[in-house]
Amino acid sequence: MKAFSNHCTRRQFGGATATLVAAAALPELSAAPQNDFAVPFADAFPKFRIWDVHCHLGRPNITPAEHMTQLLGYADRVGIEKVVIAMGLTPHLANPKPEELRQRNEDMLAAVKAKPERALGLVFVSPLHVKESLAEMDRLLPYPNVVGLKLWIACRCNDPRIDPIVKKAAEYRATIHQHVWDNAVGNKPGESSPEDLVELARRHPSVHFVAMHSGGDWERGLRTLRKVRNITAEIAGCEPTSGYVEMAVRELGPDRVIYASDASGRSFASQLAKVHEARVSNQVKQKIFAGNFRRLAGM
């Protein structure tokens, strides 16, 4: 069969895999004869162990447990073993009050408890509410399936108010997932840039950080993040662009790149395509799909 990527430029979509993974879920398409114009079936890929470290639940029209059933139904189609949940039911709150943090964390916990063999959770915290965030960490991180922290856009992460949260996370050996973005027309108030995370990571050289989205503008973000060895780049969001994973591996090394999707805001298939179609070895793909996060989380 013809590989679509033969004709792709560096920034074209990894559309072949995205189509393939979607097609694998549809019996009527899977039954179609394969020919020179068809994309490969899912069976054509090596079997990887895949953990998706950036997933969300969605709207409050159904319960967290029902969301988990839906999400894992989609995950099963594309071979994802575990999902990591954060921030509870929508709307996602830019600057949550303490009681809102607690409610979103209750949503996360309900989801994780509904599927403990398939789901892990992150505690949603805010540097603007340090005392309450530390209390949430002490309440939730003892659960074996709650493995880390999610920090979003309440406060830029170079702000020293985050330091007590980082120190407690290190005590629990919790993974620290910080949203970082680089908007061409300017970030939102409180939204961290890759440079902000570099500043934080340099202040805590013995603690490891996960840079969510690799900064969005990943070519620029990866060049910024590569400077500091205690940051791992996470590749959720953005279009499934050819070259993203290759650059991450080249600039940060194969041990500092993690697969994630940002489902349900993004499809699993489009995000998996970035890794499946990357020109890196299967051994490196396995590190990205699960090995690197499992090492960070001690799992």
CB of 262 to Zn ion, least distance (A): 4
Stretch that binds Zn ion, among 138-146, 201-209, 254-262, 283-291 (CB under 5 A): 254-262
Assess 191 for contact with Zn ion (CB under 5 A): no
Residue 237 Ramachandran class (φ > 0 left, ψ -120 to 50 alpha, else beta): left
The minimum distance between CB 52 and Zn ion, in angstroms, equals 11
Q: Which CB atom, from 16 or from 112, has the smaller least distance to Zn ion?
A: 112
Q: Which is nearer to Zn ion, 196 or 262 (CB)?
A: 262
Residue type at 234? Answer: E
Task: By CB under 5 A, tell whether 262 contacts Zn ion.
Answer: yes
Binding piece for Zn ion, criterion CB under 5 A, among 24-32, 168-176, 202-210, 261-269 = 261-269
Task: Give the residue with the Cβ less far from Zn ion, 39 or 272.
Answer: 272
- CA separation for the pair 71, 268 (Å, rounded): 10
**What whole-number distance in Å separates Cα of residue 199 and Cα of residue 15?**
36
- Is the bond preceding 60 in cis, omega lying within 30 degrees of 0? no
Q: CA torsion sign, 87 to 91 to 97 to 103? A: negative
- To Zn ion, the closest distance from the beta carbon of 236 in angstroms equals 6
Strands 146-151 and 119-125: parallel
User: Looking at beta carbons only, is 178 or 224 nearer to Zn ion?
Assistant: 178
Measured at CB, which residue is nearest to Zn ion? 262
Q: Which is nearer to Zn ion, 195 or 262 (CB)?
A: 262
Q: How far is it, in rounded angstroms, from Cα 246 to Cα 231?
A: 17
- Per CB under 5 A, 52 contacts Zn ion: no
67 forms bridges with which residues in the sheet?
Answer: none
Residue type, 154: A
Find, among 7, 10, 1, 2, the residue nearest to 279 by Cα: 10
3-class SS of residue 291: helix
Contact between 277 and Zn ion per CB under 5 A: no
The CB-of-266 to Zn ion minimum distance in angstroms stands at: 9
Count of residues touching Zn ion (by CB under 5 A) = 1
Please, which residue, 42 or 225, has the CB nearer to Zn ion? Answer: 225
The site map against Zn ion for 205-244 (x = CB under 5 A) is ----------------------------------------
The structure tokens listed for 169 are: 């996370």
Rounded (5°) CA angle 162-266-37: 145
Closer to Zn ion at the Cβ: 262 or 277? 262
Cβ–Cβ < 8 Å for 216, 179:
no
> Using CB under 5 A as the criterion, which residues of the chain lie in contact with Zn ion when the complex forms?
262
